Amino acid sequence: MVSSKNQYVSLLIIVCLLVNSVQSTRIMDDPSQDCEFKGPCQTKRDCFKSCGGTPPYNNALCVPYGNARICCCIPM
């Protein structure tokens, strides 16, 4: 009985992870979003030059993209 419960819980966790992954991909592929993707980054600071902003650099974000991170420039 315990084994059956463990299998059920494991299956439920896997299904939740798959649903979350699909939703994340759908959000990143949304053409109506306000982001212009401009190259890889590790931190927000890496995006300042790519996004061409001026201090306080409110138009630059470093966001997850698959297994990496990418600059998201918000038009102002």
Is there a single domain that holds both residue 21 and residue 39? Answer: no
Residues 11 and 24 in one domain: yes
| Long-range contacts of 56-65, Cβ-Cβ distance < 8 Å, separation of 24 or more | 61/35, 63/35, 65/28, 65/37
Q: How many domains does the chain fold into? A: 2
What 8-state DSSP symbol labels residue 47?
G
C-alpha 65/C-alpha 59 separation (Å) is: 18
Report helix, strand or coil for 75: coil
pLDDT of residue 1: 60
Per-residue tens of pLDDT for the chain, all 76 residues: 667 887 888 888 887 777 666 555 555 555 556 888 888 999 988 888 888 867 777 888 899 988 999 999 888 7
Q: Are residues 23 and 4 in the same domain?
A: yes
Between CA 48 and CA 70 the distance in angstroms is 12
Domain with 73, as residue range(s), is 34-76
Residues 14 and 2 in one domain: yes
